[in-house]
Structure 1
Amino acid sequence: MGRIFITGSSDGLGKMAAKLLINNGHHVVLHARNEQRAEDALKANPKAKSVLIADLSSISETIALAAKANALGHFDAIIHNAGVGYRESNKILTVDKLPHVFAINSLSPYLLTSLIEKPKRLIYMSSGLHRDGDSSLDDLLWEHKTWNGFQAYADSKSHNVLLAFAVANQWTQVASNALEQVWLASSLNVQVLQSGGYYYHKQPRQVHPESKNHEIQQLFIDRCSEISGIKFPS
């Protein structure tokens, strides 16, 4: 039995993951972006231990969420599931003047990883579209490029893989992986207890060739640190 925190667990895959993990006897803490979604999350999974509220498009709210999570005690696993899709035809800016997709999909997992006490396992929900991501990390905030919602989403999914692999390289005591399902959170399979993998339907899959590049991983970490003001702990 483990303690698991899932971001973005009021609907979709996060809600389903919570239900499966709770049914398997795990203690699950949910997350939602506002009060209404928190109510929805608890209605869907009434046996969850609690639900934490924060809008992950806001740096300050994401930092506060990390503090709330730490106040609950140590987690065995954290599933970074929260995200927005690629239907944003126009660039939407957050309160911090960041692209909405980047703030939620890319920066918030970085912040929560940096600020929540290290769990035994970190799982970053990605997508096969990460292979279409721009590994150069050029113009990360779309300040000069013409906005393309699909590309911004693909980039963010690539960022999730870069972060997962960067953590795997730097935090050797944590099993950090990226995937397209939630099996990694609780399985005792020897394969998933390792780190630095990318999985789909319980099988390892190929990743963007630059995802394993340590220099690019570090560049992403450094840019997130500069943008947020939060340093990544060694």
Structure 2
Amino acid sequence: MADTDQVRGIAAHVNRLGQMDAVIHNAGVLHGPDIFQVNVAAPYLLTAVMQRPRRLIYVSSGMHRGGHAPIQKHAQVTYSDSKLYLTALAAAVARLWPDVLSNAVDPGWVPTRMGGAGAPDDLRLGHRTQEWLAASDDPEALTSGGYWYHQHREKPHPAIRDERFQDELLDHLAGVTGERLG
């Protein structure tokens, strides 16, 4: 996901398969120089160049609340920043593409390689919300623009709902990737 050409290749392969019912953007890194590319630019690029699915789910984190708005264009982006941007991307897509259900999910701090063995959340609950948003006909799952934690809608960082912040992010991502959301 750190290599833009490989991300484009993934999108081209998926487009040859046809329209997807749902896409869950789950790739992510916690540390290193590729945080912005992997956690934000790659999901944006896939969203921009793949055929629109019926549902998009972006795996965020409760740590997005510690992120910085405006966009840290010339500074090292932190994990929290990247998850703030990703959650804002989900909200922007929900606003701009009313025919697509777009949501962000906090899976919780779960015991994975990334979360560590001591993470306190239940690993089984970590994926249920994504599955529910991707496939359920439950009226709550058929909504867009939400930020979810264990199948409950939660209030995200205030910047998420700021359309100017969303537009600034989209402009920045278009400049980084060379693609605009259609």
Aligned pair 1:193/2:142, yes or no?
A: yes
Q: Say whether the 8 Å CA contact 1:131–1:208 is kept in structure 2.
A: yes
1:212 aligns with 2:138: no
Unmatched 5+ residue regions in structure 2?
107-128
The structural deviation recorded for 1:140 is 2.5
Paired amino acid for 1:214:
E
Corresponding residue of 1:71: 16
Identity %: 38
* Count of residues in Structure 1 that have an aligned counterpart in Structure 2: 159
In structure 2, what is the equivalent of residue 121 of structure 1?
55
Instruction: Report what 2:5 is aligned to.
Output: 60
1:58-104: CA deviation from partner (whole Å, max 9, x where unpaired): 11111111101101111000000011114x4xxx3xxxxxxx00000
Residue 105 of structure 1 pairs with residue 39 of structure 2: yes
For 2:151 and 2:177, locate their aligned partners in 1 and report how far apart those are by CA, in whole Å: 34
Aligned residue identity for 1:163:
L
1:170 aligned residue: 96
Deviation at 1:189, TM superposition (A): 1.2
**What is the rounded CA distance, in whole Å, between the counterparts of 2:180 and 2:163 in structure 1?**
18
How many Å separate the matches in 2 of 1:208 and 1:101?
20
Q: Which residue of 1 aligns with 2:30?
A: 85
- How much does 1:109 deviate? 0.5
One-letter code aligned to 1:187: S
Q: TM-score, normalised by structure 1?
A: 0.66
Determine the C-alpha separation between the residues in 1 that align with 2:149 and 2:176.
31
* TM-score, length of structure 2 as denominator length: 0.84
2:144, 2:7 → 1: CA distance?
Answer: 25
Larger RCO, structures 1/2 (Cα 8 Å, 6+ apart): 2
Report the equivalent of 2:113: none
Higher Rg: 1
Q: What secondary structure is seen at the aligned counterpart in 1 of 2:78?
A: helix
Structure 1: which 4+ aligned runs deviate by more than 6 Å? none
State how far apart, in whole Å, the 2-side matches of 1:102 and 1:140 are. Answer: 10
Q: Name the residue aligned to 2:73.
A: 140
